[in-house]
A and B are shown apart, each in its own frame.
Chain A
Amino acid sequence: NAGVTQTPKFRILKIGQSMTLQCTQDMNHNYMYWYRQDPGMGLKLIYYSVGAGITDKGEVPNGYNVSRSTTEDFPLRLELAAPSQTSVYFCASRMGQGVVYGYTFGSGTRLTVV
């Protein structure tokens, strides 16, 4: 059981380049999330999705886009990379809303923009 898989694990981008961070889950979870973690800070919610075809902004959505065409996949797109987007990115999923539904996190993507 793979859980939540994120690729790549590490990436270095130049300013202005674009890339997609991939996130796939095999648990048939409806809810998926993207968080970023900056050094010395807690995780901040970027975007989330409550099901295929439905996405919504979190606390820090600027500079990012998402799509949810399938239940399994929730890619995060950076169009014009900026140094402020240097961070560790975590994808998470859960079956539903409510404290009984625990979150499953991926192992993260470490992104550096230079």
Chain B
Amino acid sequence: GDSVTQMEGPVTLSEEAFLTINCTYTATGYPSLFWYVQYPGEGLQLLLKATKADDKGSNKGFEATYRKETTSFHLEKGSVQVSDSAVYFCALSDQAGGGNKLTFGTGTQLKVEL
């Protein structure tokens, strides 16, 4: 079945450091890929998405590129802020058209310190 693997946390960075959170996936067909973020005490929020190979999703300085050849969707940000501290989830949808469920990775906690 479909699965998503992402790097374990917590990841601790200093403010203005470069961030990479790795995500790889296994799926049949052509999934859509997502990054969700969960701030403390809140629900998951969509951060960015990509629907086909070589698409780049971007939002709030975060980027991720859909790499079909490596089945990856790594999250990057050039300069993190304390306010980026949260848990980040990589996810896929089981059909290119959106499907009817999301398959999530285990989440990666990011802590950004001054």
Binding site for B on A (CB under 8 A): 3-4, 31, 33, 35, 37, 40-43, 45, 48, 50, 58-59, 90, 92, 97-108
Q: A99-B32, A99-B49 are in contact. List 4 more A-B contacts (CB 8 A).
A: A37-B107, A42-B103, A48-B100, A59-B101
Q: In the docked arrangement, what's the CA distance between A92 and B101, Å? A: 11
Q: Is the CB of B43 within 8 A of A107?
A: yes
What bracket does the count of chain B residues touching chain A fall in? 20 to 34
Q: Is the CB of A40 within 8 A of B106?
A: yes
Report if B41 contacts A (CB, 8 A).
yes
Interface set, chain B 1-59, CB cutoff 8 A to A: 4, 32, 36, 41-46, 49, 51
Partner of A42, one of B45, B98, B105: B105
Closest to A40 in B: B106
Q: In the docked arrangement, what's the CA distance between A31 and B100, Å? A: 9
Report if B89 contacts A (CB, 8 A).
yes
Report if B99 contacts A (CB, 8 A).
yes
Q: In the docked arrangement, what's the CA distance between A104 and B36, Å? A: 11
Q: In the docked arrangement, what's the CA distance between A61 and B106, Å? A: 20
Partner of B97, one of A41, A42, A58, A98: A98
Q: Is the CB of A99 within 8 A of B43?
A: no
Q: In the docked arrangement, what's the CA distance between A59 and B89, Å? A: 19
Closest to B107 in A: A42
The smallest beta-carbon distance between A78 and chain B, in angstroms, is 20
Closest to B51 in A: A99
Q: Is the CB of B98 within 8 A of A101?
A: yes
The smallest beta-carbon distance between B26 and chain A, in angstroms, is 13
Query: Which residues of chain A are near B105, meaning CB under 8 Å?
Result: 42
Q: Is the CB of B46 within 8 A of A103?
A: yes
Report if B85 contacts A (CB, 8 A).
no
